Chain A
Amino acid sequence: MLKDISFGQYYPTGSILHRLDPRVKLLIMLAYVILIFFVKSYIGYILFALMVISTALIARIPLKSLFRSVKAVIFLVLFITIINVFFYKGEGEALWSWWKLAVYVDGLVFASKMALRLILLVLGPALLTYTTTPMELTNAIESLLSPLKLIKFPVHDLAVIMSIAMRMIPTLMDETDRITLAQKARGADLDTGNIFKRIKAMVPILVPLFVCAFRRADELALALESRCYDATPNRTTYRVLKLKGRDFLFLIMFLVFMAAVILDVALPIYYPCDATWIEGFYDNAFFSLFGL
């Protein structure tokens, strides 16, 4: 049912955060994601956690719903945490050791920070998608990319492609439901058997779905041509995003937050435990496995 309103996880509450300019939200989110990789102290993580929680409160999104988005990565978080607890080679004496496994204080600190970072990394973008419709995000991307027009990058075509994709996803989802029901009515068994069997069972659904998508694409192409797509290089834009007072307010609030984080990152002197953080990070063989 949710997909009828908008697919994804948009959580409509009509808060000020929902009404914020999507470009502002997108930019803040990008800064947030980059920034979080520089944080190394618990204070920094607390700052981030406070920001996420206060933002969720402003957006009137129940924390329970917000934390649901962590579920998807919970196994990755646990896996990384456990590996770091047992394999991190710290200084000083091990708290516990057996065979090649050993638990150091440094390891516990490192693992907990890793877990926090991953969780915060998921929560931030989740907040963005909870408060912003895919359509708004598309508009934001188009608007932010528009300077690229100067170097002949087809920003506009890209925007139309994204817009059509957004438009078609709910329709194709309905289509998938319909085809699935029809094949189930003919006795298709989609829920039992091993993975290969299940993949094979998807053929009667995927083939009609593709055929349908292509037919739609054909008709859509005719409709685009009929509606003068590509008629003039001087195309105009109806939807113009305008920054409002509240957008500046949030930008300033975020800049203050950013300053606090940068201050924390730039003054590592108070946290001697983290001085070798960068080295420790790359020394950790298990970690490089994940390309992080």
Chain B
Amino acid sequence: MAIETKNLSYTYSVGSPYQKTALKDVTLHIHEGDFCCILGHTGSGKSTLLQHFNGLIKRTSGELRVLDFDLNRRKPDYKSLRFSVGMVFQYPEYQLFDDTVSKDVSFGPKNMKLDEEEIKKRVREALTLVGLDPDEIGEKSPFEISGGQKRRAAIAGVIAIRPKILVLDEPTAGLDPKGKKEIMSLVKSLKEKLSPTVVMVTHDMDLVAEYATKVIVLKDGEVAFDGTPAELFNNNEIVNDCSLRLPSGVALANELREVGFDIDHNSITIEQVVDNLIKEIKPKENDNA
């Protein structure tokens, strides 16, 4: 089990006029190897939940377990937890600060108090993983590389701690289609090579359809849905209730079913639906021929 919560609740500014409940009795399980997408509108409690996962927000009520860390104990080891859960914030390129990319990437490993050799190794490894040349880009200032490279460098800075869980908050925000594709294939390869569990917040339902193995929908601080993307997008009640958008594949599949096609409910991306259609239309074409 990678992340496990039971009745996790959180309230901001307790006792002040600005008191606000952000999470209410959240119970969820994220398994090792999951690609879990967290959906929900602004103010649904997504950020609060995410920040619990690496101890940026300390658990106050309910149970929380992340990897081997039992955060219900009196004094949990928050420091080690942060080095096991990598957190990529929105627009991560805005956190770059050092004079070279390599130095910036070494910030995490240095905070882990690793020795020189190991730090160097980790920096090279992280830069290589995100597709930046450690010798060329590594020596440049993070302020003189391109926008796409900056975001990669920032992600390298997070994965240099070799997290077992990678948490990403809208990693594709503000990117053009090409950049978006590149970052998503990067996330996918990081999941295969480094961090087997990925938790991602996104507004892009097409990404959810394409990448997620598990979806959790938050609404007003509560879990409104927990299951697979196919289950979610074929459940009209939840979709309407949480005013979610449909992935374009599902929207097309629904229209196709309406006119009489038999489309598999597990087909949720455009590619899958098209494959389905080809099977539906093509064989007969062959028969005719």
5 shortest interchain CB distances as A-B pairs:
A187-B111, A1-B18, A207-B97, A185-B87, A182-B95
Task: State in angstroms the CA–CA spacing of A184 and B158 once bound together.
Answer: 11
Q: How far is the CA of A205 from the CA of B98 in the complex (A)?
A: 11
The total number of A-B Cβ pairs within 8 Å is 65
- A181 CB contacts on chain B under 8 angstroms: 51, 56, 89
B161 is an interface residue with CB less than 8 A from chain A = yes
Q: Is the CB of B111 within 8 A of A182?
A: no
> What are 10 A-to-B residue pairs whose CB atoms are below 8 Å?
A178-B94, A185-B54, A185-B158, A186-B161, A187-B83, A203-B97, A204-B98, A205-B97, A207-B98, A208-B97
Residues facing A in B54-80 (CB within 8 A) are 54, 56, 79
A186 touches B94 (CB 8 A): no
**Which of A1, A184, A212 is B12 in contact with, Cβ under 8 Å?**
A1
Q: Looking at the complex, which one of B13, B79, B96 makes contact with A187 (CB distance below 8 Å)?
A: B79
A179, CB-defined interface residue at 8 Å: yes
Contact partners of B96 in chain A: CB under 8 A: 208, 211
Residue in A1, A182, A184, A203 whose CB lies within 8 Å of B92 = A182
The answer to whether A186 and B157 have CB atoms under 8 Å apart is yes
Q: Which of B89, B97, B107 is close to A178, meaning CB atoms less than 8 Å apart?
A: B89
| Secondary structure of the B contact surface, majority rule | mixed
**Interface hits, A179-227 → B, CB 8 Å:** 179, 181-189, 203-205, 207-208, 211-212
**B95 engages A187 (CB within 8 Å):** no
Is A289 interfacial (CB 8 A cutoff)? no
Chain A residues with CB under 8 Å of B95's CB are 179, 182-183, 204, 208
**A residues near B1, Cβ cutoff 8 Å:** none
- By a CB distance below 8 angstroms, the chain A residues around B249 are none
Grouping DSSP codes into helix (H, G, I), strand (E, B) and loop, the A interface class, with mixed when no group exceeds half, is helix
Question: Which partner residue on chain B sits nearest A2 by CB separation?
Answer: B18
Contacting pair B89 A186 (CB below 8 A): no
Q: Which residues of B contact A178 (CB under 8 A)?
A: 89-90, 94
Residues of A within 8 A of B82 (CB): 184-187
Closest-by-CB residue of A relative to B111 is A187
For the complex, what is the distance from the CA of A23 to the CA of B56, rounded to whole Å? 44
Q: How far is the CA of A47 from the CA of B60 in the complex (A)?
A: 48
CA distance A178 to B51 in the complex (A): 12
The answer for the CA separation of A208 and B83 in the assembled complex, in Å, is: 22
- Name B112's contact: one of A2, A182, A187, A207 (CB within 8 Å): A187
**Nearest chain A residue, comparing its CB with the CB of B110:** A187
If A1-B20, A204-B107, A211-B143 touch, whether A185 touches B94 (CB-CB below 8 Å) is: no
Q: Can you name the residue of chain B whose Cβ is closest to the Cβ of A179?
A: B95
Residues of B within 8 A of A (CB): 12-13, 16, 18, 20, 51, 54, 56, 79, 82-83, 86-87, 89-90, 92, 94-98, 107-108, 111-112, 143, 157-158, 161
Complex interface: chain B residues within 8 A of A2 (CB): 18
Please report which residues of chain A, range 244-283, place their CB below 8 angstroms from some CB of chain B when the two chains form the complex.
none
Q: B16 and A182: CB pair below 8 A? A: no
Given A182-B92, A207-B97, also A187-B18 (CB < 8 A): no
A185: chain B residues within 8 A (beta carbon): 54, 56, 82, 86-87, 89, 158
A186-B54 in contact given A1-B18, A207-B97 (Cβ < 8 Å): no
Known: A1-B18, A184-B82, A208-B94. 12 other contacts (CB 8 A): A179-B95, A181-B51, A185-B54, A185-B82, A185-B158, A187-B79, A187-B82, A187-B83, A187-B111, A187-B161, A211-B96, A211-B143
- Report the separation of the CA atoms of residues A88 and B82 in the bound assembly, to the nearest whole angstrom: 57
Beta-carbon contact of B97 and A186 below 8 Å: no
Q: Which residues of B contact A211 (CB under 8 A)?
A: 94, 96-97, 143
Taken together as a complex, chains A and B put the C-alpha atoms of A175 and B94 apart, in Å, by 9
CB atoms of B108 and A186 under 8 A apart: yes
The CA-CA distance from A178 to B154 in the complex, in Å, is 14
| A77, B6: Cα distance in complex, Å | 50
A204-B12 contact in complex given A184-B56, A187-B82, C-beta closer than 8 Å: no
| Interchain CA distance A211-B99 in the complex, whole Å | 13
Minimum CB–CB distance from B122 to chain A (whole Å) comes to 12
Closest partner residue, chain A, to B79 (CB atom): A187
- Contacting residues, chain B, for A204 (C-beta < 8 A): 95, 97-98, 107
CA distance A205 to B79 in the complex (A): 19
Nearest CB on B from A29, distance (A): 26
> Once the chains bind, are A182 and B108 in contact (CB under 8 Å)?
no
CA of A198 to CA of B9, assembled, Å: 32
